[in-house]
Amino acid sequence: MDCIFCEIASKTSEAEIVFENEKFIAFLDINPVNYGHTLVIPKTHFDNFLTMPAKELEEMTKLTQYLSGVIKRALKADGFNVISNNGTSAGQSVFHFHYHIIPRYENDFHMRPRTIEYNSTEIEVYAEKIKAAVSKYEGLLNG
């Protein structure tokens, strides 16, 4: 498979690795939005957030929490963003699941490019659509 993150995980491509264990690897993003911008990936290939098995997702999320705290301390950051882009429309460019950890400093930059506004009833319409799907798919939560 032609996947740059699989290549990094198997050490056939180079990266500035900051953490590694049996299942996961974390390395610095080659095109960072801030100093210390880190990517956390599973060594096994899964396309995105939705296709990650629950156990691996839980382990990777715990690891990302730990690494976020470590990075915040190491770089004396004021905060950080943990982001997962899913699908081309959401900005995903590497289709091997990853979390971004982005160290943040007071007044460094705006992450939100825009906001939209609901008209008077629209917010309820959107809530209803989502709630109907939650009922329809509730079996997926525990299944």
- Is there binding between residue 4 and Zn ion (CB under 5 A)? no
CB atoms under 10 Å from CB of 3, counted, come to: 15
Which residue's CB is nearer to ligand 5GP, number 38 or number 77? 38
In terms of phi and psi (left: phi > 0; alpha: psi -120 to 50; beta: otherwise), the region of 10 is alpha
Tokens, residue 141: 């939560």
Q: What are phi and psi of 78, to 5 degrees?
A: -80, -25
100 is catalytic: no
For the bound state, the minimum distance from the C-beta of residue 6 to Zn ion, rounded and expressed in Å, comes to 3
Least separation in angstroms between residue 77's CB and ligand 5GP is: 18
Residue ranges in contact with Zn ion by CB under 5 A: 3, 5-6, 45, 96
Residue ranges in contact with ligand 5GP by CB under 6 A: 4, 15, 27-31, 39, 85, 91-94
